[in-house]
Structure 1
């Protein structure tokens, strides 16, 4: 699988793996990011396969 993290390098890992285990290995706090595959938002228990490409983006919140 290919993992893209904006403003950081790309990572390659072997799957299948859960989003939670990927974030743990990359030392990324899951409360601070969203993980996307194609047009789909993934949960921590979603499984990512070898052929997948995912993107890890900062979670932004706003409003008043």
Structure 2
């Protein structure tokens, strides 16, 4: 599967299927500090990601 990361912007290829939470562990990302997006859909930690998926990883940004 293709993983598109931001900050810094780069692409990573991983073998699937795997759960979204496992993807974060493999990439050493804190699951609570990133959003995983597949297509136009936000992905939950228990979602199963397939080999053919493209997943965008965006940092969570808050402000006021």
Q: Scaled by the length of structure 2, what TM-score is found?
A: 0.91
Residue 22 of structure 1 aligns to a residue whose secondary structure is helix
1:46 aligns with 2:19: no
**2: distance between equivalents of 1:20 and 1:8?**
21
Residue 25 of structure 1 corresponds to which residue in structure 2? Answer: 26
Moved over 4 A (4+): none
Per-residue deviation, 1:37: 0.4
Matched residue pairs, number?
63
Q: Scaled by the length of structure 1, what TM-score is found?
A: 0.91
Superposed CA RMSD = 0.9
Deviations 1:31-51 (A, max 9, x none): 100000010000000111000
Gaps of 5+ in 2: none
